[in-house]
Structure 1
Amino acid sequence: MRIFLGDKMAKYHIAVVGPGYIGQAHISAIFDNPRAELRTIGGTDRKKLEKLRFEQFACGRVTTNYEEIIEDKEVDIVYLCTPNRLHADEAVSALEAGKRVFCEKPMATTLEDCRRMVEAVNKSGCHLMVGHGARFRPLHISVKELYESGKLGEACFCESDYIHSLRSFLDGPGHQWWQHPDEGQFAVIGGGCHPLDLMRWIVGEFEEASAYGTTKVLHDVDWDDTVIATLKFKNGAVGKCLVSVGAPRPYAMNFSLYGTEGTVENNKLFLKAFGEVEQFTEMPLPVLGEVHNCADELEHFLDCLDADEPPMIDVRDGARTVAACLAIVESLETGKPVKVVTEF
């Protein structure tokens, strides 16, 4: 239940379902936001939930019963930080109960589930936001502004990578669900969604994808640990996306955009307007490692809810990024180019 002070929204009561690696990052952001209050933590292991409640995150209650969360009239927003394959059922139930939903990326693992979530948003009138946190990084915002201002000209080529060795995660607790068969090609859907979403957001929608994959390191999983995809944008630009989750090396999510008037490579900028200067200039913005933007995501979502406006990454936007991932997966399976679905 939202608490009002005069005409201004004071607090939203939030339930976080799935207090694992990213779930706890979101809980910390909720505690730090004066407009948010943690009402409930939901999960599958009551002992762990109680330990979390008393040792780290004080909240009204913990529960292993999801129905209790969506039936609680005090809960305004449900955060879904659960395995990707569960997002659709949980989101649809919450939306039907009149809750707003923050869904961790990827929004879903199938096109059918994406369509179910779109329909539930349409019918309920409740907002759903997808947690593609890379959109909130200052560097990526600046690159988008450069492109949209025309300073880079028309896009010729765009590439982005998701490079993240997952061996330590797979060997540790809490990430075994990555190997569930219904999670599909996890490296592409769960990892590749990061760069693919950035490419879509900055350059535009994809038209077609072709991909190759291999496994050289993570032989105990059923998905490729290295995937390279070539992409065609609807605006005529071409692109490339690398997903590498096996090879041992530091985390990186690179982004480059080559335009008719200039080029950006991470935080390095070159413009034709520079004249005879044959070198990049460095933008005063850092290339961040594995940093989550949970606080910025929460602040944005609350602003949108206050104004009753769709969030930047709404249900259809989330669906289009999933569709790009699934086109790459289909190309891996068929060895053929695949059209990317963009209508939801």
Structure 2
Amino acid sequence: MSKIKVAVFGCGAIAERRHIPEYAANENVELVAFADPIVERAEKMAETYGGKAYSSYEELLASEEVDAVSVCTPNYLHASMAIAAANAGKHVLVEKPMAVTTEEGEQMIEAAKKNGVYLMVGHNQRLMPPHIKAKEILDSGKLGKVLNFRTSFGHPGPEGWSVDGAESWFFRKEEAIMGAMGDLGVHKSDFIRYLLDDEVSEVAGFISTLHKENTKVDDNATCLLRMKSGAIGTLVASWTQYRAGDNSTVLWCENGVMKIGTVEGDEVIVELTNGTVETYKVGAMATNDKQVPSGVIDAFVESIVTQTPPSISGEEGLRSLQVILAAFESEKTGQIVKL
């Protein structure tokens, strides 16, 4: 079978550290082109991995034969680039948040459908080994119904991650639109929906810029969620966890508690009401410091190779985004927002 020809839009940190090396490591892929308005970044990728560099994605789409693209650009560009790629007949993998409004998300889904291509969103938390194991345990039914939960994602902020440091687009409201919530919160709204196999029905959000200077985007959020099943819990996103980041979830269920990512080395802990304690060492989550393969690229490529629609679809990405948008609405109005 001929290799899938892939282009990458945006050559910042997520492209350089995850998308591009993971495509390069996949034997079904040929990286053919890179686009970045700072063309030196695209050139560096082309020198390292082969292929051509472009300063504009439009020019790339017009000049290159590609089967699929990754959109790794600032949030406000996700929709326009994904739609352009879909309209050019390319499968699209877009970074999270997939878009910055519901309308944009719907237009992206529509463009993919109309052109018969796949749209996948880079919600890698579903694919982390501890999260896969946790879902397997929960789905087995041994814990019974989930009653209450907390899920949290925090790190010291994008200045340590982005190729532009403190000058990063992550801090520019007009390009990022949302801060920690778009970066981390949307991962957790996606994860809790997936883990509980349930939808969020109501959201209350407290969202603030508490500590980052010279920015209007949020650096902290604590949200209350009520699920359709009735389960209630909290979702936390933070860019000010300076000492030790957090990517943990705890579920209190009828028959015990499941702790995910709370203890280093024991990634999943199940404590049953009958006194049994089970620990699972299934491998760590990816962090900004320790890059382990995200699984997203391989899943996207697998979808294309096997012609199977991606499970982390545009529709899924949009539902997860809508939870975050509802939290912003709640912060603005002081009301609980129903979804």
State the alpha-carbon separation in 2 of the partners of residues 28 and 122 from structure 1: 29
The answer to whether residue 280 in structure 2 is matched with residue 283 in structure 1 is yes
Question: Which residue number corresponds to residue 130 of structure 2?
Answer: 139
Shift of 1:232: 0.3
Which of 161, 165, 176 matches 2:156? Answer: 165
Which of 205, 208, 227 matches 2:199? Answer: 205
Deviations 1:153-197 (A, max 9, x none): 111012111111116347726623432335323111222111111
Shift of 1:294: 4.8
Shift of 1:256: 1.3
The TM-score with structure 2 as length reference comes to 0.90
The TM-score with structure 1 as length reference comes to 0.89
Deviations 1:122-161 (A, max 9, x none): 2111001111111111110111111112112111012111
The answer to whether residue 82 in structure 2 is matched with residue 91 in structure 1 is yes
State the alpha-carbon separation in 2 of the partners of residues 157 and 244 from structure 1: 21
Residue 294 and residue 95 in structure 1: after superposition, are their counterparts in 2 closer, same or farther (change >3 A)?
Answer: farther
Contact preservation (8 Å) 1:41, 1:59:
no
Question: Which residue number corresponds to residue 188 of structure 2?
Answer: 195
Shift of 1:293: 5.8
Question: Which residue number corresponds to residue 270 of structure 2?
Answer: 269
SS in 1 for 2:246: coil
Contact preservation (8 Å) 1:43, 1:49:
yes
Contact preservation (8 Å) 1:165, 1:245:
yes
Contact preservation (8 Å) 1:251, 1:289:
no
The answer to whether residue 208 in structure 2 is matched with residue 214 in structure 1 is yes
Deviations 1:39-68 (A, max 9, x none): 0011012233323433xx232211012123
Deviation larger for 262-271 or 33-42: 262-271
Residue 40 and residue 167 in structure 1: after superposition, are their counterparts in 2 closer, same or farther (change >3 A)?
Answer: closer
Question: Which residue number corresponds to residue 335 of structure 2?
Answer: 336
Deviation larger for 44-53 or 240-249: 44-53
State the alpha-carbon separation in 1 of the partners of residues 38 and 158 from structure 2: 25
Contact preservation (8 Å) 2:123, 2:190:
yes
Residue 293 and residue 327 in structure 1: after superposition, are their counterparts in 2 closer, same or farther (change >3 A)?
Answer: farther
Question: Which residue number corresponds to residue 230 of structure 1?
Answer: 224
Alpha-carbon RMSD across the aligned residues, in angstroms, is 1.9
Contact preservation (8 Å) 2:97, 2:317:
yes
Among all aligned residue pairs of Structure 1 and Structure 2, give the percentage whose two residues are the same amino acid: 30
Q: How does 1:24-35 map to 2 (within 5 A)?
A: 24=16, 25-35=18-28
State the one-letter code of the partner of 1:32.
Answer: A
Contact preservation (8 Å) 1:88, 1:114:
yes
The answer to whether residue 18 in structure 2 is matched with residue 17 in structure 1 is no
Contact preservation (8 Å) 1:160, 1:241:
yes
State the alpha-carbon separation in 2 of the partners of residues 83 and 165 from structure 1: 19
Contact preservation (8 Å) 1:87, 1:107:
yes
SS in 1 for 2:214: coil
Contact preservation (8 Å) 2:96, 2:183:
yes
Question: Which residue number corresponds to residue 143 of structure 2?
Answer: 152
State the alpha-carbon separation in 1 of the partners of residues 152 and 67 from structure 2: 36
Residue 173 and residue 229 in structure 1: after superposition, are their counterparts in 2 closer, same or farther (change >3 A)?
Answer: closer
Contact preservation (8 Å) 1:80, 1:103:
yes
Which of 57, 60, 66 matches 1:75? Answer: 66
Question: Which residue number corresponds to residue 46 of structure 2?
Answer: 53
Shift of 1:292: 5.1
State the alpha-carbon separation in 1 of the partners of residues 292 and 188 from structure 2: 15
State the alpha-carbon separation in 2 of the partners of residues 298 and 167 from structure 1: 22
Deviations 1:204-229 (A, max 9, x none): 11001001133331132113322110
Question: Which residue number corresponds to residue 263 of structure 2?
Answer: none
SS in 1 for 2:141: coil
Question: Which residue number corresponds to residue 264 of structure 2?
Answer: none
State the alpha-carbon separation in 1 of the partners of residues 194 and 294 from structure 2: 20
Shift of 1:76: 0.5
SS in 1 for 2:295: helix
State the alpha-carbon separation in 2 of the partners of residues 154 and 172 from structure 1: 43
Which of 245, 258, 268 matches 2:252? Answer: 258
State the alpha-carbon separation in 1 of the partners of residues 312 and 228 from structure 2: 20
State the alpha-carbon separation in 1 of the partners of residues 150 and 219 from structure 2: 19
